Amino acid sequence: MADWIVREIIPNEFPELKMLAWSRDTARPIPADEAYALYERNWRFVDASALTEAEAELIRGLTRAYGNGVLLVS
């Protein structure tokens, strides 16, 4: 992915993000920076082995764009 230009993400399209966004309407787009924050803040609930290739690429792109290349997880 050369440039990260996604502004909004629909959680329903990404299984782990959908699970993290359980308390909101997952069919409605959320800002990309908010999606990144959800992943980072709740990484302990993400099943990394269940990530689709598309979702893994999304996380890599979000990390480059909003995390300066670092996803802070514990």
Backbone angles phi, psi at 29, to 5 degrees: -65, 145
55 near 15, Cβ under 8 Å?
yes
Give the number of other Cβ atoms within 10 Å of residue 70's Cβ. 9
| Tens digit of each residue's pLDDT, the chain (74 residues) | 445 577 999 999 999 999 999 999 999 999 999 999 999 999 999 999 999 999 999 999 999 999 989 999 86
With vertex at residue 17, the alpha carbon angle to CA 15 and CA 22, rounded to the nearest 5 degrees, is: 95
| 3-class DSSP assignment, residue 8 | strand
- Domain-by-domain residue ranges, the chain? 8-66
Distance between CA 62 and CA 71 in Å, rounded?
A: 9
Q: Can you give the pTM of this predicted structure?
A: 0.89
